[in-house]
Amino acid sequence: MKLVKQFNTFLNNTVNINDDRLKTLNDRVDAISNFLSGAPVIGDMYIEVIPQGSMAHRTIIKPLPNHEFDADILLHLQPNENWEAKDYIQELYTAFRTSATYKDRLTRKSRCVRVQYAGDCHVDVVPFLERQPGLFYITNKDEGESGDYERTDPTGYTAWLDEQNRTTGGNLIKVIRLLKWLRDYKQTFTCRSVVLNILIGQRINSVHLLSDDKYYSDVPTTLVHALEDLRDYLNDYPTYMPMISDPACPELDYNHRWDNDQYLNFRQKVIFYAAKARAAYDEQDRTTSIKLWRELFGDDFGETTELSASMFADDVMQRVADPGEQFIENMRPVKEDKRYQLKIVGRARPKARFQSYPLPIRGNRIERYRTIDFTIERCNVPGNYEVFWKIKNRGTEATDAECLRGEIVPGRTHSEPTQYRGSHYVECYIVKDGVCVARDRQRVIIF
């Protein structure tokens, strides 16, 4: 059985990082950003701090006991023509050493400076440079005598993962969290998170929706299909690992992140877990299905409780209508046509000390007190049509302010200020001949 509610509860109570940890992490990243913007030497080169990795992708999960959680952030700097690649790590380390807050928390790594906090958290700060127009690099201080510059496109990678997640209606990110938790809980295979993200993310394909519009309809369905599609892909590589290239920067590969023995073990476990998930999914007896899912995820799976209004619980919350909330289904007939493609993009307006950027390249994250302009980036609906927008706030701040909204308004474009922390969204509807034929959603995470 699908057991969608049980998956929602399991994600909320066991897998998703809890809000107090997430708030602490955001506060520490903000403090690091504020310090570095005014730090000696580094402050003169400072452009901005960009979250990357699991923090930007929202794939961060609750750590197991005695394990850490972490954040990776890019420190975007103006290049210094007088520095070698290795100097960026050293100068960043020197800047941190001037602070009583940070000087005893530091470790120099090959590509970053790590700030270690008491308890279960650390933040890796990675120098990030645009050395040529549109070409970005990080530095590796341990590569050669002078260090080396490594080509990268982390914001492009984040945008790619966001696009794949949209194809699944937001379920891919939840599936990645489940698989990361399975890896950490079972400890039966080794796979770096970036490798896991690519292997699973590249199996997502909108072509499946043409023959089965329910292919990614919910978390358990997406989980089963993603595992089986990954199994089928890995079956083409029975003895050696495939090339694992960065989707946004193909010249960058991640094969060095594991060895062939680790790959072969991972392949074997994917085949095994895909069969387990399919058996649990197809089982029609509720009690037996829960038992089979527990063989994958442990005894914490199977409960159903009311979900809180936390940052990640908003992903899975099944709400009744909030006061004043409108639904397109009550305003127009809805008959979505999978031939029609619609993609909206929110772009942050520039502000003092903050650049303009499309939300997907930053994991849809934005600070408070900014303005977002929403436009249609792609729409192949032919002829004349109407455009409508829905604005939905969620989370404790918007709830306390009685500003959950949910109205649907017309317009070819739409703009919104950011005010309440939380995971919100804007939806766009294309209405042709009085019927809603396409829709898309832009998540907006205000921190």
Res 309: pLDDT: 55
- The percent of residues in the chain predicted with pLDDT above 90, rounded, is 85
Q: Which amino acid is at 13?
A: N
Q: Which residues are CB-neighbours of 189 under 8 A, at least 6 positions away?
A: 183, 262, 265, 266, 269
Amino acid at 89: I
Length of the chain, in residues: 447
CA angle (87, 157, 73) in 5-degree steps: 40
| Predicted confidence (pLDDT) per residue in 54-104, tens digit | 999 999 999 988 888 889 999 999 999 999 999 999 999 999 999 999 999
> Residues near 185 by Cβ (< 8 Å), separated by ≥ 6?
64, 297, 298
Domain 319-446 is of which CATH architecture? Sandwich (2.60)
Helix (H) or strand (E) holding 250: strand 249-253
Q: What is the pLDDT along the chain (447 residues), one digit of tens a residue?
A: 999 999 999 999 999 998 888 889 999 999 999 999 999 999 999 999 999 999 999 999 999 888 888 899 999 999 999 999 999 999 999 999 999 999 999 999 999 999 999 877 999 999 999 999 999 999 999 999 999 999 999 999 999 999 999 999 999 999 999 999 999 999 999 999 999 999 999 999 999 998 999 999 999 999 999 999 999 999 999 999 999 999 999 988 999 999 999 999 999 999 999 999 999 999 999 999 999 999 999 999 998 776 555 556 555 544 568 888 999 999 999 999 888 999 999 999 998 767 899 999 999 999 999 999 999 999 999 999 999 999 999 988 999 999 999 999 999 999 999 999 999 999 999 999 999 999 999 999 998
Burial label, 441 (beta-carbon count in 10 A; 0-12, 13-18, 19+): middle
Single-letter code of the amino acid located at 329: E
Task: List, in sequence order, every beta strand (DSSP E) within 118-175.
Answer: 121-132, 135-140, 148-152
Distance CA 404, CA 324 (A): 9
Q: Class of 15-152 per CATH? A: alpha beta
List the structure tokens of 208. 């499946």
| Spans of all domains in the chain | 15-152, 157-282, 319-446
pLDDT digits (tens, 9 = 90+) for 119-145: 779 999 999 999 999 999 999 999 999
